[in-house]
Amino acid sequence: MNSNVMMIIIGVSILIILVSIISQLRNDMMRMKITLDKIAKKVGVPDIITKEVKDELLTLISEGKKIQAIKTYRMLTGIGLKEAKEYIDEISIDVNDK
């Protein structure tokens, strides 16, 4: 009985440590992305999202195809679902204001 309790405690401890490490890695990656974006702007790297692409995304949003807009944005940028949804929600405000 005692060995089972010890194994559960060890397992939970390892799980907590792994979650903490993953969270820290995500934060580090976000900071690196922000830094890389700043460097890219300084050296003149063109944006992936051109006016034509943004217009296409806005058209999809205005047609009620928000999920397709998120998928398109993710495909072009390679970013995560959460970030893509936040971007589409942000530009959706422009469509709703018109």
Evaluate if residue 97 carries a pLDDT over 80: no
pTM attached to this predicted model = 0.54
Answer yes or no: do 26 and 64 share one domain.
no
Q: Are 76 and 48 in contact (CB under 8 A)?
A: yes
Answer yes or no: do 12 and 58 share one domain.
no
Q: Note down the domain range covering 17.
A: 1-44
Q: How many domains does the chain have?
A: 2
Answer yes or no: do 35 and 75 share one domain.
no
**pLDDT averaged over the chain?**
89
pLDDT band at 37 (very low <50, low <70, confident <90, very high): confident
Answer yes or no: do 55 and 38 share one domain.
no
Answer yes or no: do 92 and 57 share one domain.
yes
Q: How far apart are CA 51 and CA 73, in angstroms?
A: 13
Answer yes or no: do 40 and 59 share one domain.
no
